[in-house]
Structure 1
């Protein structure tokens, strides 16, 4: 392992309940009633890809960009006003990886604006050698583009990268990129199939850098 690449939502920040809540409220604002469970299949996907599917499925008249503008402003306001810390064990894992001279990246489906808000909130931005949003590549998760771009920016072969993910779409993306993947069981991320992961953990603290 020469590089360790983190997903963000559900891995660094336990934000999936917030995403479900605001996405449900966003759908309600635009005239559609939907349950959080109906949104679980979209965990790990980019906003444009998710809302394109939902717009078509529910025949929404508003544009995808209008929907995202409403949704994203609500989520950024939540980050700025909510007392929240990184998922237990994340700080320690980052420091341990750095101690072993492992380069670090983030490959998240969230918009770059939201990613930066989270990293600034937690004061961990400077630990990461690259940050890639799924909206900055041709295809988001479950396609491999975002992880391949992170590996390119880090200057590391995909086969030398370890990924930490919490969703089926994210794990598929990492494995399709030719990377080793740790699946983190986060109950707040919904019912996710992590079976394709090489390692599955119940806690970030279960990840031992020396064993990797």
Structure 2
């Protein structure tokens, strides 16, 4: 792990770190399931987490024994409709949806002249940043459509460091999922995990809550783990 004094940039994941968009994905899939006549259950909702759009649709259709009822073209239309539902829902987001402690942390990073980048797999992240009124903190956003591989591959974090014009060892990446921590570590950057200690055991530094993530706490953790 790097020394705190060598850190010049922070690369953020979006969902689970800055805000929670998973609930909106769930609501959008629920709407589509209702339209398709598929019973929505908690088990189905939990099974969709972290799954691609088309795989999620297949899971919903299978839950209703409808996986063979539609053509590929119809399935593509259903997936597009889900995304439209999702965009409508996130259109109602405001700065009230930012996770606790994040506005103060971003303000502190800016005050100390750290470079900041967003590294989210979501193609909708620029829209979400706008709704949260956080665009001013994220002049640099990795475009996931230009990447060849998704997390846990390190490509998105490697690209983030490149866009910041920093070496990997000068960057800290922040994630809430094991695949994201694997991506940060694979890029040669210092990893911060937000959440469950067991799931995020590979993180260099872990905080239980977003409110615990401050420059003072990060510096202290890096000294302890050095």
**TM-score normalized by the length of structure 2:** 0.76
Q: Displacement of 1:54 after TM fit?
A: 4.3
Distance 2:150 2:98 in 1: 24
2:209 equivalent in structure 1: 203
Superposition RMSD in Å: 2.6
Distance 2:92 2:56 in 1: 28
Q: Note the 1:37-116 alignment, pairs <5 A.
A: 37-40=46-49, 42=50, 50-54=52-56, 58=62, 59=67, 61-63=71-73, 65-82=76-93, 84-111=96-123, 114-116=124-126
2:136 equivalent in structure 1: 126
Structure 1, residues 109-130: CA drift from partner, whole Å, max 9, x if none? 111xx21221111211121131
Distance 1:169 1:68, change over 3 A: farther
Does residue 1:21 correspond to 2:27, yes or no? yes
Aligned length: 199
Distance 1:110 1:120, change over 3 A: same
Q: Displacement of 1:38 after TM fit?
A: 0.8
Q: Which runs of 5+ in 2 are unaligned?
A: 1-6, 220-226
Q: Displacement of 1:198 after TM fit?
A: 1.3
